[in-house]
Amino acid sequence: MGDFLAEAEKAIPAEVHMISGCMDSQTSADVSNVASFSLPDPAGKAGGALTSSLLKVLYADHRKPDGDLSFQEVLMKVRGVLGGSYTQIPQLSSSRPMDINTPFEIVPDGCTGTKRALLIGINYVGQQGQLSGCHNDVLNMVEYLKDVWGFPPQNITVLLDDGSHVNPTRSNILNAYRTLVAESQPGDAVYCHYSGHGGKLRDDDGDEKDGYDETLVPLDYQSAGQIRDDDLFNTLVGPMKKGVQATCIMDCCHSGSILDLPYVFKADGEQTEMAPSPDFDMGPLLALAGALASGASITEALSQQDPQQLMVMAQQCCTIL
């Protein structure tokens, strides 16, 4: 356990927490009527299943719960909300072992650093496989971050394919992550949110035991390709400085290990504490961390998947109600 933790600290200097909507083998869902979740809805009529459920637990009626909820309580309540119509099992992953009974937080108690947020929502407007909830996810979460956690508006970056914000293209997403990492300093609190399609591509460098990389699907995936989990580690997770606490919400399909974090708690009603992810191989992460430390760039070898095949996967992966 000691060696595993030491390797985790070497591979991932920052403390990174991620709540994902489902395990790698599961799909996410798009909720067409957030009123059924009794959500504050300042920006539309749709929301993702994970985001809608989280906000029902954490921000129902536009107010935070009267008492503190632990990480475990939040995830189990989210699972309870999802359990009415969905089979998703949310999970909490982390770069460090966590006591899941500690109060849920996005900003650490006593934080004196800067609060920064990057939120990405992609509805794929006008494309086959169009979603309806992702813009609303982002705008609802912005209100929650400002109201409950005190994030200043000038430190909140939003990418949406709505014609008014910066488009969430592959290049813009990766550049936004790079900027966030470059600006974040020890003591800062960082929040990242992604609502959109997620997918899987055949592993191109042999670092995945199941033979597949988990991916985010940017707006221009047909021309620029998808964003592999290796890209996310290389751009966001690995370079984040020690002393930064980052919280990431991934409301997309196949998102369980999208950030390659070594510790996991699954809200399946059976697991009672966070534990090292079974069969997690720290070797590839240490290799990536070593490349980052040396200043080398990790070769991107994104295979261009046939767009029609990807849209079939997208329709299977996200239930559009």
Q: Give the distance from CA 81 to its chain's centroid.
A: 19
Catalytic-residue membership of 254 = no
- Rounded to whole angstroms, how far apart are CA atoms 70 and 124? 35
Catalytic-residue membership of 17 = no
Element (H, E) at 291: helix 283-294
Q: Which of 135, 197, 317, 318 is catalytic?
A: 197
Give which of 33, 38, 34 is closest to 62, Cα–Cα: 38
3-state helix, strand, coil in the chain (%, to 5): 35, 20, 45
Orientation angle between helical segments 283-294 and 2-11, nearest 10 degrees: 40
Orientation angle between helical segments 71-82 and 49-59, nearest 10 degrees: 120
Beta partners for 266?
Answer: 91
Q: Angle CA(118)–CA(120)–CA(178) in degrees, nearest 5?
A: 50
Element (H, E) at 264: strand 263-266
3 state DSSP class of 117: strand
- Rounded to whole angstroms, how far apart are CA atoms 61 and 52? 12
Do residues 268 and 89 lie in contact, with contact meaning Cβ atoms separated by under 8 Å? Answer: yes
Please report where in the chains the tokens 């035991």 appear, as a residue: 209
Q: Which of 253, 254, 317, 318 is catalytic?
A: 253
Q: Give the distance from CA 224 to its chain's centroid.
A: 21
At a CB cut-off of 8 Å and minimum separation 6, what does 3 contact?
none
Element (H, E) at 276: strand 275-276
Q: So which residues are the catalytic ones?
A: 197, 253
